[in-house]
Amino acid sequence: MCINAKAETMEKLPSFREAFEKRRCVVPADGFYEWRGPKARREPLWIHPADGAPLLFAGLFEAWQSQPGEWRTTFTIITTAANRMLEPIHSRMPVILDDAGAADWMNSREPGPLSLKRLLVPAPDDLLLVRQVSPLVNSVKNEGPELLEDLSLFGR
């Protein structure tokens, strides 16, 4: 399973080509994490919409058999170049669709899916906020509102 697919190359790669043509999805999220700093002391950053609305990530999905008779459905999120705000943190970001873009992306009758690549661009610079959050997010064993406690405002 691949976590991310690059917008620039997904239609060329055997692992994503058919899904791009036939199995596009939208992945709702309230934000995503990136990390900064040296590997031994990585600081988690919570990247989320400034207005609190849900994010709609462009994605692709696959159904496959993990063993005979046992089907699994998995998805990958499409990434693109980072916008100016995120460039200092990471060179890439998820493709974030607006409502109209999400409807276009999900249109299974799209005659030429390559035309959908127009949607796979960096988000507007003012869409997201970035803030440092608790290192507790580094473990899937932890959950709760304290994980997103604002430790320091990083920027807008």
Give the model confidence (pLDDT) of 129-148 as tens digits. 999 998 888 888 998 888 88
Collapsing DSSP states into helix, strand and coil, what is residue 17? Answer: helix
Both structure tokens of 106: 């999900």
Look at residue 155 in the predicted model and tell me its pLDDT. 45
Look at residue 121 in the predicted model and tell me its pLDDT. 97
Residue 117 — pLDDT band, cuts 50, 70, 90?
very high
Q: Is the pLDDT of residue 38 over 80?
A: yes
Q: Which phi and psi (to 5°) does residue 146 adopt?
A: -65, -20
Q: Which CATH class is domain 4-140+149-155?
A: alpha beta
Residue 156 — pLDDT band, cuts 50, 70, 90?
very low
| pTM score | 0.89
